[in-house]
Amino acid sequence: MAKPAPGKARVKTVRTKSGRTKRISYGQRGAKVRPGTPKGDSYCARSYGIKKRMKNPNDPNSPNNLSRKRWKCKGKKSTK
């Protein structure tokens, strides 16, 4: 089991097209994820702006998209 980078909560191991494995650390350590709350809506609105500026906004393995999935973001809102 891979350990996340310092200060990060989770890690996902991904296999690249060339066959190598890559570790992606994401999420703030110690933060509580509560989808469907005002805090969740605020996070989703902030991360939506980050997503718009990304080169490949639909990359499912980017740290931003992995965190948005955990917060259950749909656009700028967090759903329960």
Q: Report yes or no on 2 lying in a domain.
A: no
pLDDT given at position 1: 75
In a domain, 3, yes or no: no
pLDDT value for 23: 95
Total of domains in the chain: 1
- What is the reported pLDDT for 2? 86
Is residue 16 helix, strand or coil? coil
Any domain includes 41: yes
- List beta partners, residue 10: 26
54 within domain boundaries: yes
Dihedral over Cα of 15, 43, 74, 50: its sign? negative
For residue 1, being part of any structural domain is answered with no
Assigned domain for 72 exists? yes
Q: Tens of pLDDT along 6-55? A: 999 999 999 999 999 999 999 999 999 999 999 999 999 999 999 999 99
Structural domain that includes position 12: 8-78
Query: What is the DSSP-derived secondary structure letter of residue 34?
Result: -
